[in-house]
Amino acid sequence: MASDTLTVTDNRTGNSFELEINDGTVRAMDFRQMKASDDDFGLMTYDPAYTNTAACRSGVTYLDGEGGVLRYGGYPIEQLAEHSTFPEVAYLLYHGELPSASALESWNAELKSAAIVDPSIKAIISSFNRDAHPMGMLQAVVAALGTLHPESKEFTPEGELRDSIALIAKTATVGAWAYRHNTGQELLDPDPDLSYAANLLYMMFGDKDVDPRLEKALDVLLILHADHEQNCSTTAMRGVGSSDADAFASASSAIGALYGPLHGGANEAVLGVLNRIGTKDKVEGFVEKVKNREELLMGFGHRVYKNYDPRATIIKAAADDVFEVTGVNPLLEVAKALEATALEDDFFVSRKLYPNVDFYSGLIYEALGIPTEMFTVMFAVGRMPGWAAQWREMRNDKEQKIARPRQVYVGPDERDYAGVDAR
Ligand code: CMC
């Protein structure tokens, strides 16, 4: 039987090394023994943007990008979207198992009580410019929450759970407050009688009587965003958390990473693209621009998915339910025509570029009355359980240390000082 090892010959020296293969990986540190001379510190691996580096072992989310498969704790995303709720999925991500009925009841009660945010935070929100981007406010305020919870600097299993619940619950309140501030309205406290999704809509729009189909659609969107293994923002959460920064500081950094248009900000950018295209007859012209590298087709492509993003399939179906209540958004026709044109074009086919989660989500948010600037906030609210679960997993993984990649130095050699010499 073939052994699970890799034999590497260093042609600089002729030495051979046998490296262990575990779970389809070799250890980067095993290359350090390969030295060209005695004073050489050994080979490193070079992987800008971590395109082929597993930085952790994780049991939270399984993603098969070729097959278009996504599972949380082993459960297919399709089943969770159909049967579960966002708080239950949050429990699953954090604890690794679905809760019993009584465990879910206490989890929901804890989330509801943690959704109350200290009134001093209202003053911080009010100090932002009226047109401040809500993601900037969310990032700042989540960091500020840490100042109200100095106990979060002492890490215990109970403390990690407490801070995770606080983050999952309070992000909805703070996100809604950012919207209320933008629109010059009173900041509303959460109502414990409402579900997580209904409460989020209530704190934004002040209406407790939401159509259950819209409440369900938002809940499904939050489920679909809840985790996505080692994406850019989760890597930020883990990386910052690895320095023993508290959960709030780490989550604030993750929100910053999500803000970018290549990541969570893509949902906002997609609406910009659809609005600019405007009508179906302009789709082909836009696609030509993408092929000429004048534009990116936002909401398309993914580092890991080389197949249809399963979340996009679920969102497309949810959009139909929402439009039954709200009436069809004319941009849906543009989006569908854009998708169809791209998927028939060799530029996209040969690069395996398919719609991702952000392609259709904005259309649903818009139908729910949520303004474009708030789309990425909704993503952040949905992703918080994943960030919390991954943060806790990182903290309890004995192999993890402070995240600290290496570099290949390409700057000048040593040289003598040649500045102004102001002394
Ligand atoms: N439009 C046009 N061309 C694209 C796109 C796109 N959206 N995405 C990738 N490509 C091209 C890219 O130019 C490259 O072509 P070539 O090899 O000829 O230079 C090829 O496809 C491979 O792309 P890449 O940039 O090497 O892929 P990546 O893994 O580094 O980037 C991505 C992944 C998601 C950043 C990228 O696909 C992208 O910018 N998409 C648009 C933004 C977007 O929708 N982001 C949301 C991602 S999903 C949810 C989330 O994470 O928040």
Say what the pLDDT of residue 369 is. 94
DSSP state of 175: H
Structural domain contains residue 30: yes
Say what the pLDDT of residue 423 is. 86
Q: Is the CB of 266 under 6 A from ligand 1?
A: yes
Structural domain contains residue 325: no
Structural domain contains residue 335: no
Largest Cα–Cα distance in the chain?
74
Q: Is the CB of 290 under 6 A from ligand 1?
A: yes
| Segment 180-193 mean pLDDT | 98
Catalytic residue among 263, 321, 345, 397: 263
- 133 is a catalytic site residue: no
Structural domain contains residue 15: yes
Structural domain contains residue 41: yes
- 95 is a catalytic site residue: no
What's the gap in Å between 275 CA and the centre of ligand 1? 21
Ligand 1 atom nearest to CA at 300 = 7
H-type alpha helices, 206-293: 212-225, 232-241, 247-259, 266-277, 283-291
The pLDDT > 70 percentage for the chain reads 100
| Segment 62-72 mean pLDDT | 96
* Least confident interval from 57-66, 184-193, 352-361: 352-361
Q: Which of 303, 308, 346, 354 to mutate to test the pocket of ligand 1 (most atoms within 8 A of CB)?
A: 303
C-alpha–C-alpha distance, residues 125 and 315, integer Å = 32
Q: Is the CB of 231 under 6 A from ligand 1?
A: yes
Say what the pLDDT of residue 1 is. 61
Average pLDDT taken over every residue of the chain: 96
Burial pattern 303-325, b for ≥16 Cβ within 10 A else e, equals ebbeeebbbbbbbbebbeebbee
- Contact, 67 vs 60, CB < 8 A? no
Structural domain contains residue 28: yes
Identify the CA nearest to 320 among candidates 367, 378, 356: 367
pLDDT greater than 70 at residue 181: yes
What's the gap in Å between 416 CA and the centre of ligand 1? 44
**Structural domains in the chain (count):** 1
Q: Is the CB of 362 under 6 A from ligand 1?
A: no
The pLDDT > 90 percentage for the chain reads 95
pLDDT greater than 90 at residue 328: no
> Over the stretch 96-152, which tens digit does the pLDDT of each residue have?
999 999 999 999 999 999 999 999 999 999 999 999 999 999 999 999 999 999 999
Structural domain contains residue 8: yes
Token pair of 388 as six digits: 């919390």
Concatenating the DSSP letter of every residue in 126-155 gives HTS-TT--HHHHHHHHHHHHHHH-GGGGS-
Say what the pLDDT of residue 410 is. 98
Structural domain contains residue 39: yes
| Segment 225-243 mean pLDDT | 98
pLDDT greater than 80 at residue 87: yes
Say what the pLDDT of residue 3 is. 82
Range of the domain at 41: 1-46
What's the gap in Å between 165 CA and the centre of ligand 1? 33
| Segment 297-325 mean pLDDT | 91
How far does Cα 160 stand from its chain's mean position?
Answer: 20
- 263 is a catalytic site residue: yes
